[in-house]
Each structure stands twice: as structure tokens, then as C-alpha cells.
Amino acid sequence: MHSFPMFIRTTGRRVIIAGGGEQAAQKARLVTKTDATLVFAAPELDPELAALVAAGRAVHHAQPITARVFEGAAMAFVAAGCPGIDACLHALAQAVRCPVNVVDQPALCDLTTPSIVDRDPVVVAIGTDGTAPVLARQIKTQVEQMLPPTLGGLAAFAGRMRDAVAGRVPKEGRRAFWRWVFAEEPRAAWTRGAEREAARTIKKAVAAGGAPDIGTAGCIAYVGAGPGARDLLTMRAVQRLQEADVIFFDRLVGEDVLELARRDAERVFVGKVVGAHAWPQDRINAAVVAEARKGRRVVRLKSGDPGIFGRLEEELRAARKAGIAFEIVPGVTAACAAAASLGQSLTCRGETDTLVLATARHRDDGAIADIECRVQPGTTLAIYMGVSAAAYLSERLLAKGILPGTKVEVVADASRHGEKRLCTQLDGMAGDIQAAGITGCAVIFVRTGYDRTISVDAPHAELRRA
């Protein structure tokens, strides 16, 4: 290493920012996350810096800058914007042994600013010694996904409880106690937003003199894997994958998503396919509950959002009946990903103010839903699992009064490698889908605006808005 990573205490200390323009403001945005006293050393300040001074968050030193300005400071940032002036200010800081960072001049830097993941008081700093800042930001994004936004609050609460733990929990049991706080139910509750519940649980354990015995019942997280691309998973989904002991997943969940899970997590493929199931739903329900009863953390990983055409309610009923704690982690549903791929909004003010998500198949026997009943003027109709029934759907929508030339868009495998897009018309939809070789997981969009996309002359047509 050419630089040693460490954290510099800022409480009760000054940080000097020499400069009053945009570069200085960029550094100020970073330092205002600390409790340091900020000093802006510059004749004039831009509006952002002036606002910080007016708010009492910083001090303005408008007089000539001497070495004395830097004396005793925790660190200094030089951002005057002129290489010559920056070099002179660097020399003044060096004269009083103040560590300094000079913007865009690595050779004059005693300090470099890392990419920071802030979960105060938990802080992760990522540096590349100035060689690859873009890479540092990419790593930061990955770490941001790993750490829930509420993690810092749990760490801060633990800090406030440390004296109480030292007084009530025997020394030999403290490591196990903190492991329980940060790896078991308290952290899970805190992460899902139940901070008060987690705090009560921790305080009860402290009063009892240690962590409770972990019971035999585990928990289940029904997690939305999104449409395919793993960077569309939520941060909470990634965390649940990394905590899981066993993961039950479907055919549409890709290997790159599963790579986000713990390496030693057991993975069970339940093989659900439209119209045929290697695992019947009852067997899936029973297997998921059985693993949770062993005290394991179970993730039921479903493509898209678990609550949209994922038979989630059936699995929830099984968990409730067994008395198993569960959590639902939403995901990006296919319609959202498909619309994003098309570069379109799902709704448009004054044209389509209703969004309908419909499935073409609503029973295991393959029965086709009455999609046409969902169509009204001003509607975006997103049809899931409709490719194999395209001819029937087209026939029914035409009978409803949707005009033959109505634009239809089809997106298959949205956000995945090999994604396909098709723009066609309602009357030619079935043939064009077949010709394009689109099968399986696709979303069909039919938009019926407040114009003549619905014929008023059709026998079953709805009245258009005046």
C-alpha cells in the first residue's frame, strides 16, 4: 500500500477548505457529513457555501490566507482553482504540518478522499490511491446494495446500550449477545423498519442477562428477484439472499441473481413453468414451511414482484397456518421493466390514466382469462403470460371494439440478455409474435387512449369519454 487507510477524528476540530467556488463546494458537501467546524478561506463564496455560513454550519475567513489559518486543523482541502495559488496554499499548510488534499493535483496530496458508504456511525471508505476513481464508485454501489439504509441506526442504538450490556450480561456471554443482535431477529426487525420492536427485544434480553435461546422456528422472506437483471434487485432483496440458509427459486430466476446469495446457502429449484409444474404448489408450500420449522432463514425467490401473478397468497396462507414469521420483499415487476426498455411511461396524463396488469392464464388447467373485460378508454393493458394465447386475445379484444390498427408492443425477457421487442398491430399480433420467435416470458402492451382506439360502433364497445 502507498497510503494507509484510517479515520480522522473531527469532533471539536477545524477542517479548512481553501477556495470559494464549485470545487470547494464539492469538498464541503463531503465534510458537512462530519461534526467538524468548517472554515472557508476565500475572499468570496459561491451561494452554496455562503448559505452554509449563514446557517451557522461554517465560518468564513475572508482575510488573506496565512499559515496560521491551517495551524492545528485536522486537515485541509485546497480548491482555489488556480494551479499556482493551490501550490502556494499547499506550502502554507505544509509549513504548520497540516495534512492537505489539493484538488486534481495528486502529487501535492497528503490525503486522498475515498468513495464513502455512509451508514453513520458505520462508515465504509473505498480508495484506489487515486488510480481508478470510477472503479471506486462502482465498488461503492455494490456495498450500498449490501448495507441497508437503517444499519447505522442499529449500530448507534447498540452503542447506547453498551454500558447496560456490560452491567447485566456476563463477560463470557457478551460476544454471543452481540452476535445475536447483529445477525438474528433484532437486526432483521430493525432492517424491515420495526425499530421499536427490535429495541424492545434487545432491552428485554439485556434485562434477562443475555441473548435468548434461538427457538426452533425460523423465518421466511418472499423476495422479488425482479425481471432478470440482477442490478434491478432492491438492496433489501440482496441482503436477504446473503442471510439465507436455504433458497427456493423458480425457472425464471437467473444464475447471476443467485450469485448474490451466500456461498454456503442451500439452493432448491422448484421448477415452476407456465402451464406445468415440476413441483406442485402444495409441495412448494410444504417444503418452504418445513425448512423454516428447522430454525432456518428461508428465502422464497420469485421472479418479478412476488405479489403479482406469483401465487404468493397461497404460500402466505401456509406460513400463517404454521405460525411462521414471514416478510415480503417487493421486486420490479416485468411490466415496469418492459416499459423502461421501450423508453415509455406506463401511464400518460390525458391519454392513459389507468394501468391494468392482467394475466392471460388464471388457473392450472390453462383456462384463458376474459382479458377484454379489463379494457376501458384511457387504459394501458399489460398482459402477462399471453404469448401462447395471442390469437385468442386478439380475437376477444377486436370483439370488444378495439380497432384492428391499434398499436401493440411486446417485450420478451425484459432486462435480460437476449431481450426481444416487437411493435405490431392488434389484428396482426399473433402472426407477428410467432414470426419473431417470441415465446415464454413476455409482456404484451395494448394502450386504449381517449381517441378512436375503441370503436363506438362495436356491439360490446364501451362509451368513450366526451
Known catalytic residues are 250, 272
Do 331 and 223 touch, CB atoms closer than 8 A? Answer: yes
CA 407 from centre of chain: 33
Nearest alpha-carbon partner for 10 in 106, 103, 123: 123
Q: What is the dihedral of CA 354, 360, 363, 369, to 10 degrees?
A: 70
CB 35 within 8 A of CB 11: yes
> Residue holding cell 485536522?
74
Q: Is the dihedral of CA 372, 373, 379, 384 positive or negative?
A: negative
Q: For residue 375, how many C-alpha atoms fall within 13 Å in the half-sphere facing its CB?
A: 29
Strands (E), 365-429: 379-384, 407-412, 420-425
Distance of CA 286 to the CA centre of its chain: 30
Q: Contact 410/360 with Cβ under 8 angstroms?
A: no
For 421-455, b/e burial (b = at least 16 CB within 10 A) is: bbebebbebbebbeeeebeebbbbbbbbbbeebbe
Please report, as a single letter, which amino acid is at residue 15.
Answer: V
Neighbours of 460 (CB within 10 A): 10
Distance of CA 152 to the CA centre of its chain: 17
Phi, psi torsion values for 183, nearest 5 degrees: -125, -10
* Helix (H) or strand (E) segment spanning residue 284: helix 281-293
Q: Which residues of 242-251 are buried (b: 16+ CB within 10 A; e: fewer)?
A: ebbbbbbbbb
CA distance 280 to 84: 74
* The three three-digit cell numbers of residue 69, written as one number: 489559518
Copy the grid coordinates of residue 344.
415509455
